[in-house]
Amino acid sequence: MERRKPKAVFMAFGTKGDVYPLAAIAAAFACDQKQYNVILITHSAHKSLSPHLSEKHVEYCAVSSPPVLSADQNNDIEGQAESSFLLQKKKITGDHRRECYSLIERIFDDGLSLDGDLIVINFFALEGWSLAECFSIRCIVAAPYVVPYSAPASFERQFQRELPLLYRYLTEAPSGKVCWKDVTHWMWPLFTENWGSWRNDNLHLSPCPFTDPVTGIPTWYDRPQSPLVMYGFSKEVVECPAYWPSRVRVCGFWYLPTEWQFTCMQCRETSVYDSSEHRYAKDNLCPRHLELQNFVKATPIFIGLSAIGSMGFLKDPHSFICVLQEVLSTTNYRFILFTGGCEPLESVIHTIAAETTLDQNNWSEDCVPLYNGRLFCFFGSIPYGWLFPKCAAVIHHGGRQAHHR
């Protein structure tokens, strides 16, 4: 049966700060463009998004790859560990791309694309660009931050030497068509061997975009439009230089729905956010988190790790906690620590608490006080917009954190 509704597929990979903003856009798009079937493809590690997306009629599709592959996964001899990591990375990458292809093939299984079909990717879902080409679907880029990588200094010189016709095709492109600015701004990885072999061997496309798969000559007869790139930040914060491609759009910050920012459903129902006033009309947490609510009355200093733990950067959680203990001995401030789902850190916190606290029955499963209650460890999530105004200072790792009101 011929389908009547176009499909919008959002592909977002990476940590929470990479994925959640695109998930929020997918949900908003589904509410605003009801003529579309909307799908989000991301890691299974972000499965907590599924019920939120379902409420907005967005289908959640998971791939098994981890959001981040940490190089520090073996305590082996350094050379062996590096070799093991590279082999593991190659296997995970191969499996990841096969899963992505299978999902796109299933989604567009009718074989005929509609004019309105589109694939929206973030900068860690570049396979989406080639899959869109393979299935003749428009591809759009959306990211909550400026492109996080840049081409090597020798890239243009090497490109010009090895692909002189394609270089001319891109540098002499008419206005509005894909051009060299697009390549240097974000597309350059697509012209590397990492993607070229996959495009050629698995998708049966030309190794290089914008070239004929048989002759390897640029497609002079078919110049596609410059791809739309949407950034989720403000021009007041990041300047938009003239050398950016003409199709870059800076859209303002993309905020997550408030209800997505609570891990506790009761807290979500108790704290009511008034979007017209940009404040919380009801400022209470649920009875189970009353200890957290009372703790912030002392105006603590916030420490948030976000994805640092899962990315493998927190090498020694016990030493980290010991450093905080030393800091506590030099100041009268209290501290509130968000663990960001770092299981090794949470395990250390539980161990220290069990060794130093006699009465463990009053603990919530996601709230653990340490050092006479001066360090409050929270394993869940609440909106920064609720918490930060109650803090004396905020210490954050400065990564690609999703915007919170």
Please say whether the beta carbons of 392 and 333 come within 8 A: yes
Residues whose CB falls within 8 Å of the CB of residue 7, separated by 6 or more in sequence, listed in order: 36, 37, 38, 39, 107, 108, 114, 117, 118
Burial 170-203 (b: 16+ CB within 10 A, else e): beebeeeebbbbbbbbbbbebbeeebbebbeeeb
Task: Answer with the one of 198, 216, 250 that is the final residue of a domain.
Answer: 250
CA distances from 316 to 28, 93, 321, 322 (A): 40, 28, 9, 10
Phi, psi of 345 (to 5 degrees): -65, -45
Rounded CA separation 155/18 (Å) = 26
Please indicate, yes or no, whether residues 223 and 284 belong to a single structural domain of this protein: no
* Amino acid 280: pLDDT: 61
Please indicate, yes or no, whether residues 244 and 283 belong to a single structural domain of this protein: no
Burial 382-392 (b: 16+ CB within 10 A, else e): bbbbbbeebbe
Task: Pick the closest to residue 62 from 100, 101, 115 (CA basis).
Answer: 100
Rounded CA separation 251/229 (Å) = 10
Q: What is the pLDDT of residues 130-149, one digit of tens each?
A: 999 999 999 999 999 988 78
Rounded CA separation 66/88 (Å) = 12
Please indicate, yes or no, whether residues 170 and 276 belong to a single structural domain of this protein: no
Rounded CA separation 122/230 (Å) = 10
Please say whether the beta carbons of 61 and 123 come within 8 A: no
CA distances from 245 to 77, 239, 241, 272, 318 (A): 46, 14, 9, 41, 47
Please indicate, yes or no, whether residues 60 and 168 belong to a single structural domain of this protein: yes
Please indicate, yes or no, whether residues 202 and 310 belong to a single structural domain of this protein: no
Task: Pick the closest to residue 144 from 13, 259, 22 (CA basis).
Answer: 22
* Amino acid 125: pLDDT: 97
Looking up residue 104, the CATH number of its domain turns out to be 3.40.50
- The beta-strand segments (E) located in 97-161 are 118-121, 138-143
Please indicate, yes or no, whether residues 240 and 310 belong to a single structural domain of this protein: no
Please indicate, yes or no, whether residues 272 and 198 belong to a single structural domain of this protein: no
What number of helices (H) and strands (E) belong to the chain? 13, 14
The residue to which tokens 């394993």 are assigned = 379
Task: Answer with the one of 250, 274, 290 that is the final residue of a domain.
Answer: 250
Torsion of CA 247, 252, 253, 259, to 10 degrees: -110
List the domain range (segments joined by +) for residue 392.
262-402
Please say whether the beta carbons of 315 and 345 come within 8 A: no
CA distances from 310 to 57, 173, 298, 336 (A): 30, 43, 30, 19
Rounded CA separation 305/268 (Å) = 22
pTM (2 d.p.): 0.88
The residue to which tokens 């403000």 are assigned = 234
* Amino acid 278: pLDDT: 56
* Amino acid 265: pLDDT: 84
Please indicate, yes or no, whether residues 168 and 309 belong to a single structural domain of this protein: no
Count: domains in the chain: 2
Task: Answer with the one of 250, 280, 315 that is the final residue of a domain.
Answer: 250
Rounded CA separation 322/404 (Å) = 30
Please indicate, yes or no, whether residues 59 and 196 belong to a single structural domain of this protein: yes
Q: Is residue 2 part of a domain?
A: no
Rounded CA separation 39/30 (Å) = 9
Q: Is the dihedral of CA 105, 111, 115, 116 positive or negative?
A: negative
Please indicate, yes or no, whether residues 397 and 305 belong to a single structural domain of this protein: yes
User: Could you state, in chain order, the average pLDDT of each consecutive group of 10 residues for the chain (405 residues)?
Assistant: 84 93 96 96 94 96 89 54 80 96 91 86 97 95 89 95 97 96 96 93 95 93 94 91 93 89 84 57 79 93 82 85 95 93 90 74 78 93 90 84 49
Rounded CA separation 228/120 (Å) = 10
